[in-house]
Amino acid sequence: MPALQPIVRLIGQITDEIKSFDARIEQLADERYPATKLLRQVSGVGPVTALSFVLTLDTPSRVLDSRQVGPYLGLVPRTHDSGASAPQLRITKAGDPALRRLLVIAANYILGPFGPDCDLRRFGLKLAAQGGKNGRKRAKVAVARKLAVLLHHLWKTGEVYDRFHLAKKRGELVPA
């Protein structure tokens, strides 16, 4: 026990430092980049992801159509059509790797056990169920791509996020 006491104390200090940095990042995002508040409406998107998204894209007009954010960030599969075959290849990885990683982490949260029920989660779980042995991995990237499109749309329009927008459109059951 005496040997572990300094380690436990050090972990406590590091935890306090991390909380301090998190608070400073959140303050910076609120003060200098108010658009991040719109993006943080989505569960799984925190201040770091929102700030990274806003700073990477710089302005919502950089990408005209929200659906083009996926290719801009390298979250779409490569293509190699050769007439008879069209194999599924890895993603292009064309954009910023740090933002792509943050979006996949947010998608992992959405698909994980603590992710709230929403359109993104339903889409990802459905994709994972039908995807075979790599279905879960593909679902994470697909949800990350949809998340990027959603974030760009929210930023561009300034709309309030509706977790069940598509489900309501289709007439599916949504929680009250």
Residue (of 14, 145, 20, 149) closest to 91 by Cα position: 145
What's the average model confidence in pLDDT over 145-169?
95
pLDDT of residue 26: 95
The DSSP-derived string for 114-144 is: TPPPSHHHHHHHHHHHTSGGGHHHHHHHHHH
pLDDT of residue 22: 95
The pLDDT-based confidence of 174 (bands split at 50, 70, 90) is confident
- 103-147 pLDDT, tens per residue? 999 999 999 999 999 999 999 999 999 988 889 999 999 999 999
What's the average model confidence in pLDDT over 2-23?
96
pLDDT of residue 7: 96
- 15-58 pLDDT, tens per residue? 999 999 999 999 999 999 999 999 999 999 999 999 999 999 99
**168 contact partners, CB below 8 Å, separation of at least 6:** 162, 174
Model confidence at 11: pLDDT above 80: yes
Model confidence at 86: pLDDT above 80: no
pLDDT of residue 133: 84
